[in-house]
Structure 1
Amino acid sequence: MKRRQFLRNTSLFTAGTFFLEGTAFKQLYGFPQVQALAKASKNDRILVVLQLHGGNDGLNQTIPINQYAEYYNLRPNIAISDTGSRKYIKLDNFLPEDQQLGVHPDMLPLKQMYDLGKVNIIQNAGYENMNGSHFKGRDIWFGGVGYNDPITSGWIGRFLEMEFEGDGGVNPKFPEDFPNSDMLDPLGLEFSGGDVSLGFHTEDTIPTAISIPDPASFFDLVTTLPGYDEEILKSIDNRGFPPANLNGSLYAEELKWILGIEDGTDDYAKRLQEVYKKGGATSIDYPSRYPLSAPSGALNNPIANNFKIIAQLIGGGCKTKVYMVRMGGFDTHVNQVERYDNSLGGHAALTYHIFATMKAFQEDLKARGVEGQVVTVTMSEFGRRAKSNASYGSDHGTVAPMYVFGNKINPGVIGKNTNLTKAQGSGNLSDAAGDITDYRTVFNTILQDWFEVDPSKIPIILPNYNASLTVPLFNESLTPLDNFLNERYRLEDVFPNPVVKEAHFSFYINTASHVKVVLRDLRGNKVATLMNEFKNEGQHTFIADLVNLRTGTYVYSLETNQIKTSKKLIKL
């Protein structure tokens, strides 16, 4: 690529865009005011933001079981059925009635993660008087503000700027002093084919973006640029400095800045290639295609490779603090479902891509030993109306669920089911203060409880918001997770115990699963398989004849996809 083309691809955004494995992403915050003291970060925790671009129909993903009749009446031509092989999946029998949810049949991966204690669903997330414009709505979420507040920067940008400030007023010069030994990695990476999101902007940074088509050409671009023979740069000498007669002018500073970006991008390219290769691949399979019926444009998974790269970068030692992945296709005004089956179609495919990818991502992080460092949160500029339209679609609405993934979160559901009786007139869900979970409460909780931001800084990162408003999203102790799992997957005491002839076994499972009940001796040798079959959710009891079992002490185990638990049995 010619140097003129390189400069032509440089735009006023906040990142350098390049590709790994054919996937575009953007490096953010190679700027002194945010990067100078990256080493001062309080922890090694990472946030991944998955932006659902277009307005996600959360009502077809998390269905209020206690209001199913109202749900169906509002959207009969797109509603997920409560009967048949593609009916909704009941999320959790232990939730109170006003939180009982059925999830889309293509959200089985979410159900599986939920049962392992790795998902929290925040219901009715949004803000008062939600804006139905894609552009304004996204700006509000990225800005971390209310509907009527000014938006000049993003909440992530303000967080990063404050997180890494405090160098005593002495900043290294950018770009020649960056990257440096204190921070080799960009603070943020965005996977996107377009501009860097407002969420990463600060009030006073000089933004930049560099676009290239693939990993090889990116590396080649920054290492093999030809000499300064282009017409646009004829007046610049071969040392890469503007001519002396331009000293002190804004033009000279801009030229110096552009040339410095090239050098900084070279360093970032080499560093990210290095940690990416160091991370290596795991055996985890990321789903690449929706296996059922949907429009051709929705079949291929657009985010699987993004998350695979993020896992590999983190596994290789990349210290980037915030990642963002943008996923489009959620503006489902028309043909959201297949007309012969409401559980299939474009939105179903998108739903599958989200949760199948997140399950693979969590497994990949676990395989690399870094699962405890990463939390992922979803966001969308708005939800869809409760009332469907005549085109088998849904129009711009208000609130929608946010999903949070990780093994350090409190699993469960936050917030009650939306009140669908309030949607009977307008067809829209209520966005009144008492009916929503303000999205900033979720971001505020992530900032304070995950990134350990001082509460006194929250009003600057989230303007005009009360720092004391949080939700119970995180818990460092294993006890809540153990309690969560033990409530939902229980192996009861065998009766009688000691056993002479017949033994009565009982267990409870929170989701339909293949179940094994195995009897072993104290050395771990299998003595008998007492059950080996598929069981629906709920309580199960069976009787086993152990009359021929030798006298002694044994261990009986309940084994499912979600859990393995054991207890002792004595045979007389």
Structure 2
Amino acid sequence: MTMNRRDFMRLSSLAGSGLMLKLNGIPLHTMEGNGLLHTIAKSSLNDRILVLIQLHGGNDGLNMVVPIDQYGDYYNHRPNIAIPSSGQRKYITLDSTLPDNKQVGLHPDMVGSKAMYDEGNMAIIQNVSYENMNGSHFRSRDVWYMGGDYDEYFSSGWMGRYLEHSYPNYPENYPNSIHPDPLAIEIGTGVSLAFHRSEGIPAGLSIQNPNAFYDLINSVGVDPPLNVPDSHAGKEIEYMLQIEKQSNNYAGRLKDVFNAGSNSATVYPDLYPFIAPGEALHNPLAPQLKIVSRLISGGIGTKIFMCRIGGFDTHANQVLNNNPSMGSHAALMYHISSAVKAFYDDLKNLGVADRVLTMTFSEFGRRVASNASYGTDHGNAAPMLIYGTCLNPGVYGENPNLQNLQNGNIPMQHDYRQVFSSVVKDWFQAPEAAIQEVKFENFIDNRVDYIQCKSLSTAELFKENLWLKCYPNPTAQSTTLSYYLHQAGMVQLEIKDVTGRKLATLLSKEQGAGQYALDFDLSRYQNGTYIFSLVYNYSTLLTQKVVLNK
């Protein structure tokens, strides 16, 4: 059968910007072998999932994470948009036990994030950027996506390079019985550079729900042309046909997984409860995360999801002119915080929260000084928020010095690759060869150490030879620490609060090989989350969180 114009146009719609679909009206893109997402998924020995939330437009990090120790300078730089330090709509003090240079206040509408921090499930990484940051939205996003320096121009992304290293023959023989699912799903419009390989074009299709996606994919199938020209156009046609063939399998699988999954009784937020422009009132992130949760509950093997929320390019009317704690940016802070909180509540109810790590990122922050239009212009460094149950919670880095700016901007303290390399190395446990292919090898040694659930290095005991468990958990009074040593060694047991502050040493002595149990009374402590740690021979660290609820 020859391909007529209508069939070709319908098939070409698959190739616009990534295999796109919509679940319950939310557009998604299925990365057909375009990134680190795929490689991690197929090579990883764990079942961990990464959810990226892109804050599209450049987020004002100073109004999201307020430097309390420098509030006077903060207010003087932006008096018309500064979050109040007193009153009902003042910033939320994150943690009064932190040092002064880490004392921060969350935006008053980030109640959900504060609750997650108190549970030990959130971390803040301060002042993230790259050297010689480019103020262009498009170029700066490309730098974050490609995993390079400001003056490098890669046609591939850091995720794509990981994929090419581990699966050079993809997409042949995919999907298959072992890997039936798309290994990365991007919710939004367009496939990011981060997922591109050195060669290959993405494909896209937009529909309304999994069943419609399945029906539409199966309606566009045609017999391939007998001869494809040996040209650039011919290669594009050949690739589109290949994607079309694979899409049939992915469509059926996505339909089945989505229908097999379900959300818990958790209510995902919709409307911002205070004053903001009409277009900012509805939460665009919550339905995306709700779909991700349902897909996970249905058994999908996808390793990385990327969500996107826009509206952060706040040159004007960032706040209400009579109340800087409300307005469009305030609504965005509420949408992120409340949606992520509901997402993790849902995941916990489904029993899969420990498998999911979530992080926010934006192409740049905003300038320290506000403008006369109640807004902020393009800046440099900004904080990233990390959410999950396997974190070392806290504030990483110090508050920016607002008396020592770079051309009115916050200087970089952490390179963005120091943050992403921890995902690759510690969360997904990638091998050294893959890290080098991604070009993150120069950032591994000084990566930000926010992942708690890491496997032990080869210089330490094997993971199965050393373990720590606490029961009952949650507890109303006491818990029993049970642990096993394969070899004799020096053992230290400690209890810490969620900020990492040591509260007590339970044990510090040499012990022989074998299983041990130690009862510990928590009744003198307040309700909350506590972290028990086991240090073996001064190097191996195992931790267990225990919730005290009297």
TM-score w.r.t. length of structure 1: 0.77
Whether 1:157 aligns to 2:160 is: yes
Q: Residue 184 of structure 2 aligns to which amino acid in structure 1?
A: G
How far 1:333 sits from its partner (Å)?
0.4
Q: Which residue does the alignment assign to 1:536? A: none
Corresponding position: 1:323 with 2:305: yes
SS of equivalent residue, structure 2 residue 497: helix
Aligned: 1:295 with 2:277? yes
Query: Aligned partners of 1:439 and 1:34: how far apart in 2?
Result: 17
Q: Which residue of 1 aligns with 2:417?
A: 440
Corresponding residue of 1:541: none
> Is residue 443 of structure 2 the alignment partner of residue 462 of structure 1?
no
Q: Which residue of 1 aligns with 2:191?
A: 196
Q: Residues 464, 38 of structure 1: CA spacing in aligned structure 2 closer, same or farther, 3 A cutoff?
A: closer
What does 1:4-153 correspond to in 2, within 5 Å?
4-11=8-15, 13=17, 15-30=18-33, 39-153=42-156
Report what 1:514 is aligned to.
Answer: none
TM-aligned CA distance change 1:337 to 1:510, over 3 Å: farther
Q: What is the alpha-carbon distance in structure 1 between the residues aligned to residue 432 and residue 248 of structure 2?
A: 38
Tell me which of 225, 242, 248 is aligned to 1:260. Answer: 242
> How far apart, in 2, do the equivalents of 1:37 and 1:451 lie?
7
User: Which one has a bigger Cα radius of gyration?
Assistant: 1
C-alpha contact 2:34 2:159 (8 A) present in aligned 1? no
Q: Give the distance between the partners of 2:34 and 2:65, measured in 1 at CA.
A: 41
Provide the rounded CA distance (Å) in 2 between the counterparts of 1:41 and 1:99: 35
Indicate the SS of the match to 1:190: strand
1:178 and 1:45, CA in 2 relative to 1: closer, same or farther beyond 3 A?
same
| Contact 2:526 2:548 (8 Å CA) reproduced | no
| SS of equivalent residue, structure 2 residue 73 | helix
SS in 2 for 1:83: coil
Counterpart position of 1:211: 206
Distance across 2 between alignment mates of 1:39 and 1:188:
11
| CA shift in 2, pair 1:205/1:253, >3 Å | closer
Letter in 1 for 2:410: L
Q: Does the Cα contact within 8 Å between 2:314 and 2:376 map onto a contact in 1?
A: yes
Q: Which residue identity lines up with residue 104 of structure 1 in the other structure?
A: H
| Change in CA separation of 1:254 and 1:130 when aligned onto 2, cut-off 3 Å | closer
Q: Deviations over 1:241-272 (max 9, x none)?
A: 3235x586776655444333222111111101
Per the alignment, residue 387 of structure 1 pairs with 369
Q: Distance in 2 between matches of 1:315 and 1:347?
A: 32
User: Hey, what's the Cα distance between the residues in 1 that align with 2:360 and 2:110?
Assistant: 15
CA separation of 1:463 and 1:409: change in aligned 2, threshold 3 A? closer
**CA separation of 1:154/1:172 partners in 2, compared to 1, >3 Å: closer, same or farther?**
closer
Unaligned runs of 5+ in 1: 229-239, 491-504, 512-561, 567-572
- Partner-residue secondary structure (3-state), 2:150: coil
Which residue in 2 is equivalent to 1:187? Answer: 183
How far apart, CA to CA, are the structure 2 residues paired with 1:256 and 1:459?
31
Task: Judge which range, 447-456 or 183-192, deviates more.
Answer: 447-456
- DSSP-derived class of the 1:9 partner: helix
Amino acid at match of 2:364: F
8 Å contact kept, 1:489–1:509: no
- Is the CA contact (8 Å cut-off) linking 1:242 and 1:255 kept in structure 2? no
Q: Secondary structure at the match of 1:470?
A: coil
Residue 220 (structure 1) aligned to one of 195, 212, 215: 215
In 2, are the aligned partners of 1:459 and 1:467 still within 8 Å (CA)? no
Post-superposition shift, 1:314?
A: 1.0
Q: Secondary structure at the match of 1:105?
A: coil
Structure 1: distance between partners of 2:214 and 2:247:
10
Match of 1:273 in 2: 255
- How well do the aligned residues superpose, as a CA RMSD in angstroms? 3.1
Query: Contact 2:46–2:428 at 8 Å: present in 1 too?
Result: yes
Among 198, 202, 225, which residue is 1:242 paired with? 225
Give 1:190's aligned amino acid.
E
* Residue of structure 2 in register with 1:520 after alignment: none
Q: Is the 8 A contact 1:67 1:420 kept in 2?
A: yes
Paired with 2:237 and 2:291, the residues of 1 have a C-alpha distance of 33
| Inter-CA distance 313–61: structure 2 relative to 1 (3 Å threshold) | same
- Higher mean C-alpha deviation, range 378-387 or range 448-457: 448-457
Q: Secondary structure at the match of 2:22?
A: strand
1:146 shift after superposition: 1.6
Change (3 A) 1:276 1:417: same
Q: Secondary structure of 1:135's partner?
A: helix
Kindly state the Cα deviation for residue 470 of structure 1 after the two structures are TM-superposed: 1.2
- Say if 1:376 and 1:404, in contact at 8 Å, map to a contact too: yes
- Describe the shift of the 1:38–1:101 C-alpha distance in structure 2 as closer, same or farther (beyond 3 A): closer
Q: Any idea what the Cα deviations from partners look like across 1:149-184, whole Å, max 9, x if unmatched?
A: 22221112223333x43xxx8x4773xx33111210
Q: Describe the superposition over 1:374-407 as per-residue Cα deviations: whole angstroms up to 9, x where unpaired.
A: 1011110000011000000000000000011000
Q: Offset of 1:285 from its aligned partner?
A: 0.8
Structure-2 change in CA distance of 1:506 and 1:263 (3 Å)? closer
Q: Give per-residue Cα distances to partners, 1:209-267, cap 9 Å, x unaligned.
A: 223344443222123348x6xxxxxxxxxxx13235x5867766554443332221111
* Partners of 2:249 and 2:314 in 1: CA distance: 42
Tell me the CA shift for residue 200 of structure 1: 0.8
Distance 1:416 1:58 in 2: 14
**Counterpart of 1:209 in 2: which secondary structure?**
coil
Q: What does residue 427 of structure 1 align with? A: 408
Q: Which residue does 1:418 correspond to in 2?
A: 400
Distance in 1 between residues matched to 2:170 and 2:420, nearest whole Å: 31
Q: In 1, distance between residues paired with 2:499 and 2:105?
A: 22
CA distance in 2, matches of 1:344, 1:23: 27
1:356 aligned onto 2:356? no
SS, match of residue 68 in structure 1 = helix
Report if the CA contact (8 A) 1:27-1:189 is conserved: yes
